[in-house]
Homo-oligomer: A and B are copies of this chain.
Amino acid sequence: MAKSAELICVGTELLMGQIVNTHGQFIAQALARQGISHYHQEVVGDNLGRLTAAIRQALGRSDMVILSGGLGPTQDDLTKEAVAAAVGVPLQLRQEVWDGIVARFSRRGLEPTPNNRRQAELPVGAEPIRNPNGTAPGVLYELPPDARQVIVCLPGPPNELRPMVADFLEPYLDRWAGDERQVLMSRVLRICGIGESAVEHRIQDIMAAAHNPTVAPYAKPGEVQLRLTVRADSPAAAAAALAPLEAMVRERLDPHVYGVDEQTLEGAVGALLRSSGRSLALAESCTGGLLGGRITDVPGASDYFVFGAVTYSNRAKMQVLGVPEADIAAHGAVSAEVAKAMAEGARRVGGADIGVSVTGVAGPGGGSEAKPVGTVWLGLATPEGTWAKQTLWPGLRADIRWRATQEALVWLRSYLLFGAKAGE
């Protein structure tokens, strides 16, 4: 039987809706990676009775109870008191922890308050977990007599909790889990330039046949993600089971898989620009700089990105990019002609190999019957020619602007892979 862990997030601010419970996801991912079964999560406020009851209940059904939050110095911070009450031991000041807290304060020229002494108290039998990023240590309590059950208390601030999960909890889980666990490993293939139903159509036989690993599609704005998930006895066995499935899926979907896991489309486009030695200039209207923002989110983007013009006014389109006034007058600023002239202008002014432009109606105002909100023209200027294409998406201003940057990147990627064919 795989060992099981359950998570109790402590904090009235969660129950008041002041913050979203990101710890729940973060710790669930760590448990999945280590092959620990995870059937329950709770959120409980800063209340000793309810928190103690929640810990007792968790100890009645799970091998490990992980608590987050409530290790601070104030009277509201009750996690250690509740652990002590749940297992029936007192709290005790640990001198070496207190010395560490005093030293930590003195390095900053400060003295701890009497309240901070509470942070040096641990349930008798528990051990402190080092916290280089905060005052309160974590708590590890292996329940006597045989340490088959474990309680772990983690600090609430994310910048303290996350390193403690990575540096302490995951290695501990790896030793504690035993041989019978099933590691859960996922890999997300990120796909662009093809819709969800077309993706499913191309791989429906693979999806139907795949039980472990499984393949599950998710549609995101302007991209499709396929999550490949496997349960196996070890990380190595999991990776070995995922690899052939990924290869099969990639073969069917080639060339639409642009990356995996946290890789971004702007990163994939940047890598293609760099490897092909080509430079990029942008001309943005409705996206207002967002496309440039995405391109330059990639470290080292200055190797290929030279210039972007955010020509929000018609005057700027004409003066900076040389868009003919007649085109704007005849076709409007949201048109194939203006998109092409903007892309060519960006390419020329920036002295770049490729120019990409975006001009559209992001709303909520500015729409018309002929050009409703969501209408966006993209332009692509290259040594082989200049093209424009029209798109139309539903949604709010932010959705339309994001989607416009996404489609511009998809088109640019296609050009970098296939040249002029992508434009025509």
Residue positions of A touching B, CB distance < 8 A = 14-22, 24-32, 38-45, 47, 50, 184, 186, 227, 282, 284, 286-293, 295-297, 299-302, 305-313, 315-316, 319-320, 349-351, 363-365, 397-398, 401
CB-nearest residue of chain B relative to A351?
Answer: B315
**B308 pairs with A301, CB closer than 8 A:** no
User: Which one of B20, B31, B307, B365 contacts A316 once the chains associate, using CB atoms below 8 Å?
Assistant: B307
CB-nearest residue of chain B relative to A300?
Answer: B365
Contact residues in B for A42 (Cβ distance below 8 Å):
40-43
| Identical chains bound together, number | 2
**B21 pairs with A20, CB closer than 8 A:** yes
User: Interface of chain A, helix or strand or loop or mixed?
Assistant: mixed
Besides A40-B50, A297-B397, 14 more A-B contacts (Cβ < 8 Å) are A17-B31, A18-B186, A20-B22, A40-B43, A288-B296, A288-B308, A289-B296, A289-B308, A290-B290, A290-B292, A290-B296, A299-B397, A310-B310, A320-B320
Q: Top 6 A-B pairs ranked by shortest CB distance?
A: A288-B296, A289-B292, A289-B289, A308-B310, A17-B28, A17-B29
CB A193 to nearest CB in B, in angstroms, measures: 23
**A293 pairs with B293, CB closer than 8 A:** yes
CB-nearest residue of chain B relative to A396?
Answer: B299
10 contacts between A and B (CB under 8 A): A15-B41, A16-B32, A17-B25, A282-B289, A287-B296, A289-B292, A296-B310, A299-B364, A307-B315, A320-B349
CB A23 to nearest CB in B, in angstroms, measures: 10
**B312 pairs with A310, CB closer than 8 A:** no
Contact residues in B for A297 (Cβ distance below 8 Å):
288, 397-398, 401
User: Which one of B287, B315, B316 contacts A293 once the chains associate, using CB atoms below 8 Å?
Assistant: B287
CB A307 to nearest CB in B, in angstroms, measures: 4
**B45 pairs with A39, CB closer than 8 A:** yes
Contact residues in B for A14 (Cβ distance below 8 Å):
24-25, 28, 41
A139–B365 alpha-carbon span in the complex (Å): 38
Contact residues in B for A47 (Cβ distance below 8 Å):
39
Contact residues in B for A308 (Cβ distance below 8 Å):
288-289, 308-310, 312
Contact residues in B for A351 (Cβ distance below 8 Å):
315, 319
CB-nearest residue of chain B relative to A319?
Answer: B349
Contact residues in B for A17 (Cβ distance below 8 Å):
24-32
CB A70 to nearest CB in B, in angstroms, measures: 15
**A16 pairs with B28, CB closer than 8 A:** yes
Q: A41-B43, A309-B308 are in contact. Are A288 and B295 (CB under 8 A)?
A: yes
A217–B255 alpha-carbon span in the complex (Å): 50
Contact residues in B for A19 (Cβ distance below 8 Å):
25
Contact residues in B for A32 (Cβ distance below 8 Å):
16-17
User: Which one of B22, B312, B320 contacts A305 once the chains associate, using CB atoms below 8 Å?
Assistant: B312
**B24 pairs with A21, CB closer than 8 A:** yes
Contact residues in B for A350 (Cβ distance below 8 Å):
313, 316
User: Which one of B306, B312, B349 contacts A296 once the chains associate, using CB atoms below 8 Å?
Assistant: B312
A319–B45 alpha-carbon span in the complex (Å): 60
CB-nearest residue of chain B relative to A279?
Answer: B313
A363–B300 alpha-carbon span in the complex (Å): 9
